[in-house]
Structure formats: structure tokens, C-alpha cells
Amino acid sequence: MTKRIKRRQFIQGISGLAGLGTLAGLYTWQVEPFWLEFVKKKMLIQNLPDHLVGKTLVQISDIHVGNRFDWQFLIDSFREAQKFQPDFVVYTGDYVSYEDEQQVYQLQEVLEHALIGTIGTFGILGNHDYGDDWADGKVANAIANTLQQAGIQVLRNEQHSAQGLNFIGIDDYWGTNFRPERVMTKYNSQQANLVLCHNPDVCDLNVWNGYQGWILSGHTHGGQCKPPFLPPPLLPVDNRQYTAGEFNLNDGRTLYINRALGHSWQVRFNVRPEITVFKLDQA
């Protein structure tokens, strides 16, 4: 009798664990990938004009339009973000999970609902925007043209000032057009500046020409899955400290890594999708 009870308890325990495993799998697949978080932060910028104090800047990164998840979630997220009535919007790369030219048309559909800033909207390219092996310049040009048509000004080693805030865009580190010296040797340190750079590993390169200020990145997705109290096991960067969130680089630069709105594959655990909402102020 005792052996039967123990055997029944063992089977019940195994069944319970299997049930928990199923629930955890459903959560990481169907819940957290679509559980958007708006992260609100203050951004202090040197030389920021008085009339831009209190303005709102929204960062969206890594939307990964493609065949791997239902991108209606992206459209719904844009609509939610519109409630913040952003003055500036920046997109920091990886607009598609590229398989073939179909993704360009899919991106066009999504960007019909793109979040646009009332003062300015800027974007840079990520590695996925360069197609196979991050090496197809024609794909990158098609993505850039699609963004431009949607009202997003693409900065490819270029800068553009909007009402006194200068946006500096560095093309992707792994792509075929990574030439940061073209813009970092020309910026004016007496202006209010903000750098957009998809891959945070660029922060460790000798390309910054004394720049001090914010750098907005994406690329890592925060690892997408992160054990509690431990670093994420998978990160597509050389510097494993560059996970997600804000980093003081201890030389006048502040790096912020957005956790991504989309995902390479539909799985997330302890790393919710993010849209970042910055309130501008003078440093």
C-alpha cells in the first residue's frame, strides 16, 4: 500500500512539473513576446536649446518585420505609442528579418502606421537590413527607400539638425557601409547632439572624436531570454556587458540599449519588448 501511494505521488509530481513546463512554454511563446513595456527616462543633453526642454523623444528598435511572428503587434504598438504625442521619434535599425524581397513589401504595410514625430523622425539601418550575410547593399537601399517614403529620414553616416537638436546616424557595424569617420569628424561639439548607432560594440571603437553625449542603440534584444539574476546566455555582441538599458561609459558618453519591439524568433523570457520614452532636459 505504501509503495502504491509513493508511486502515485511520484507520477503526480512528474505530471505537475510537465504542466508547469507547458505553462512556461506558452508564456515565453504567446505572452511575453507581446507584453509591451514603455520605459520612461530623462535624457540630459548638453547645449539643448531652451525651447526643446520637456520635449518627448521616443526610441523604437528592431521591429523585425517578416514571417516569424504576427506583425499586427507592431502596428498596435505604434498606435499605443502615439498617445505620448512624441516630438521626436528615432528608429535604431533591424526593420526586417530578411528572407526575400517580400519583406520589403511587408515593411511597407507596417510603416503605413509608423509613429512619426511632430518635429522630426530619424532612422538608421541595422545588420538585418543588409539581407543575406549582412552584405547586400541593394537590400539596404530598398529598406532605406521604404523608410524615407514612410516619413523616416535615414541617416547613413550623416547628421541632420531639427530645431537645434543634431541627430548623428552611424550605419551598421556589420553592414557594407560602416564609415563612422564620415560623420564623427564633422559634428559640432558646441551643438546639442545625439548619436544613433545600431550595434553597441561600436562604442568600444576609436571612432568617436571626443564625442560626449547620448548614444541610442538596439541590436541585442536584451538577449530575449534571461534567467532571473543572471546575464542572458546569448548576446550578439563582443562586449558582454552590453545587454540592455543605460550604461555610463565614463568618458562623457551615455549608452542606452533598447530591448527591441520585435524579435528574431517568437520567444521571450524576463526581457519584455520595449519602446523607450525620453523626456529632454539640459545637462
E strands within 28-187? 37-45, 56-60, 88-92, 120-124, 153-154, 158-162, 165-170
Residue 187 CB partners (closer than 8 Å, separation 6+): 159, 166, 168, 193, 209, 211
**Average pLDDT of the segment spanning 41-58:** 98
**Average pLDDT of the segment spanning 35-41:** 98
Quote the pLDDT of residue 25: 76
**Average pLDDT of the segment spanning 65-71:** 94
Kindly give the pairing relationship between strand 153-154 and strand 158-162: unpaired
Rounded to the nearest 5°, which phi and psi values hold at 88?
-125, 145
Whether the pLDDT of residue 16 is over 90: the answer is no
CA distance between the termini of the chain: 75
Structure confidence at residue 21 as a pLDDT band (50, 70, 90): low
Whether the pLDDT of residue 72 is over 90: the answer is yes
Whether the pLDDT of residue 191 is over 90: the answer is yes
DSSP state of 51: G
Summarize pLDDT for 207-259 with one digit per residue, the tens.
Answer: 999 999 999 999 999 999 999 989 999 999 999 999 999 999 999 999 999 99
The whole-angstrom separation of Cα 187 and Cα 76 is 36
Whether the pLDDT of residue 18 is over 60: the answer is no
Rounded to the nearest 5°, which phi and psi values hold at 107?
-65, -40
Quote the pLDDT of residue 23: 74
Whether the pLDDT of residue 6 is over 80: the answer is no
Whether the pLDDT of residue 10 is over 60: the answer is no
Quote the pLDDT of residue 27: 93
Whether the pLDDT of residue 14 is over 50: the answer is no
159 within 8 A of 186, measured Cβ to Cβ: yes
DSSP state of 58: E
Summarize pLDDT for 135-146 with one digit per residue, the tens.
Answer: 999 999 999 999
For 276, counting Cβ atoms within 10 Å of its Cβ (0-12 exposed, 13-18 middle, 19+ buried), the class is buried
189's grid cell: 561639439
65 within 8 A of 71, measured Cβ to Cβ: yes
Please state, for a pLDDT cut of 70, what percent of the chain lies above it: 93
Summarize pLDDT for 92-122 with one digit per residue, the tens.
Answer: 999 999 999 999 999 999 999 999 999 999 9
Structure confidence at residue 274 as a pLDDT band (50, 70, 90): very high
Average pLDDT over the chain, rounded to an integer? 93
The whole-angstrom separation of Cα 91 and Cα 170 is 12
For residue 159, which of 147, 150, 148, 167 has the smallest C-alpha distance?
167
Amino acid at 203: C
Residue 84: how many CB atoms within 10 A of its CB? 17
3 versus 243: the higher-pLDDT residue is 243
For residue 29, which of 64, 61, 66, 68 has the smallest C-alpha distance?
68
Amino acid at 222: G
